[in-house]
Structure 1
Amino acid sequence: MKPEIHYHALHSSPFDLPTSTPLVLALVGGGGKTSAAFWLANQLRRQGHCVFVSTTTKMFLPKETHADHFINLEQEENPLIALSQLNLSDPSITFCYQKRIKSNNTNDKIKVSGVTAELIDNLKNDSPFTVFIIEADGAKCLPIKAPDRHEPCIPISSDMVIGVTGAEIIHTRATPERIHRWNTFSALTQCSEGDMIDHRILGNLIEHQHGMFKHAPEQATKIWLINKIDLVTNYQQLTQLAHQVMIQTTQLDAIWLASMHSHTPIKDVLTRN
């Protein structure tokens, strides 16, 4: 029996969170994880949360306007104690990182290393933060990827894992230079160079135990976020693909179709009954 799929437009936050429960959201995949992380952070700050944003890998240092507080843990002897004792009385966004990564090119954007997954697990129930948003994967700015042996680095306390894919790769021919970890991607999805990246290949990536949601806790809500829908010429074809993927997979709780740089980023949502 096929699952009943609900399809509806969304013009605000995709979820309402209880203010009493610390929540950990982890973002994996490619195609705009950082934009999604800070959009979510802003939504949740508006709902009254103290939001912690960081990475368990590396990411670009965000602009000063993206967060209310920036914390560099490089000089902290015990990061857990330092973060647990912060006094945050008002809703806010705190970006936390370990150290800046030196680059030989002075024109490069500044990259930073993040925190450990274990630190997030320990902070979840012993800190002033009510939501943790963690970029748990890297993709070299490419729209899609498969995880390597050591990836992704998802906190075991994660309540939601969001797998991100850039819409511009969907319904195009597979080429290794546009896909991060091509050899792994090809093996997991049974995709050869030149194949159309369709619902079959994307469904394989989502469903495979070493695919998009590798290392995601079993109890975590799993969302597929298709980003950059503004780059798609046939939106109806994209929504049909999303519907097909939802039917053929068992992993997903919802699919968000979005353009994270627009005023109302999430255009449509598919949920499973």
Structure 2
Amino acid sequence: MKSAKTYHALRASQFDIPLNNSLVIALVGGGGKTSTAFWLARQFKTQGHCVFVSTTTKMYLPENNQADNFINLESSINPLIPYQHLDLSEPSITFCYKDKIISNNKSDKIKVSGVTAELIDKLKNDSPFTVFIIESDGAKCLPIKAPDRHEPCIPITSDMVIGITGAEVIHTQATPERIHRWNTFSALTQCSTGDIIDHRVLGNLIEHQHGMFKHAPDQAIKIWLINKIDLTANYPNLTRLAHKVINKTTTLDAIWLAAMNSQTPIKDVLTRGKP
């Protein structure tokens, strides 16, 4: 019952999850996990939640204005209770990370490592936080990927898993340079270099047991978020592809068509059987 309520609340963009329930959302795939994470965090904060944002892999350290609190586990007195020094009496967004990663690239952005999935599972049942939003995958800034054998690292208590794909790669020719972990992607989807990334290829990625939703708990709501729809050349064609995918797969509960960097990100929500 909890999962059904969660799903319908998010589908309607109302985010009215009861404050006495804890919700874990894991983000996987490529093409906008961080922007999605903080958009979700803001929605839940608006509804009165204390939101915990982190990663089980690596991600860029957010800007100061993206979170109200920052926890560095390296300097935490007790890493199992990383919120002990915070005032969480008001709705807030807390970003938690372990340490900064030295990079050789020229980017000004700082990359950080995150927390363990086991810590999320513990905090879900024993902390003041009511919503956990966790980047559970890495894609090296590419719009689509297939998981390696150790990926993704999804908390077993996840109530929802959102798989993200950049719309700019859909209906284009597959090239190894634009797809993270190309060899695995090609094997899972039966896609060769030069093939069009169409509903067949994407359906295979979504449905395969080692594909987009690998390691997702059986009971978790599964959503495919097609991001950056502003970059697609033909939006009607994109929506037709989305309808084909959701009606021909058994894994998905919904598809969100979105531009996560816009003021109103979710343009449409598709569910199975929707005309």
Bin for the TM-score computed over the shorter chain: over 0.9
Question: What SS does the corresponding residue of 2:244 show, helix, strand or coil?
Answer: helix
Is residue 2:187 matched to residue 1:187?
yes
Measure the CA separation in 2 of the matches of 1:12 and 1:221: 15
Is residue 2:257 matched to residue 1:251?
no
1:79 Cα deviation after fit: 1.1
Name 1:140's counterpart in structure 2: 140
Look up the equivalent residue of 2:49 and give its one-letter code: H
Measure the CA separation in 1 of the matches of 2:224 and 2:248: 14
Q: What stretches of structure 1 of length at least 5 have no aligned partner?
A: 1-9
1:202 Cα deviation after fit: 0.1
1:12 Cα deviation after fit: 6.8
Measure the CA separation in 2 of the matches of 1:54 and 1:124: 13
1:113 Cα deviation after fit: 0.3
TM-score (norm 1): 0.93
Measure the CA separation in 1 of the matches of 2:47 and 2:37: 15
Q: What stretches of structure 2 of length at least 5 have no aligned partner?
A: 1-9
Superposed CA deviations along residues 81-129 of structure 1, whole A, max 9, x for unmatched, are 2336744000000000001111234644100000000000000010010
Identity in percent? 77
Name 2:5's counterpart in structure 1: none
Measure the CA separation in 2 of the matches of 1:65 and 1:266: 22
Superposed CA deviations along residues 168-210 of structure 1, whole A, max 9, x for unmatched, are 0000000000000000000000000000000000000000000
Shift of the 229–106 alpha-carbon distance from structure 1 to 2, 3 Å rule, reads closer
Measure the CA separation in 2 of the matches of 1:247 and 1:56: 32
Name 1:231's counterpart in structure 2: 231
TM-score (norm 2): 0.92
Name 2:89's counterpart in structure 1: 89
Question: What SS does the corresponding residue of 1:165 show, helix, strand or coil?
Answer: strand
In the TM superposition, structure 1's runs of 4+ consecutive aligned residues that sit over 4 Å from their partners are: none
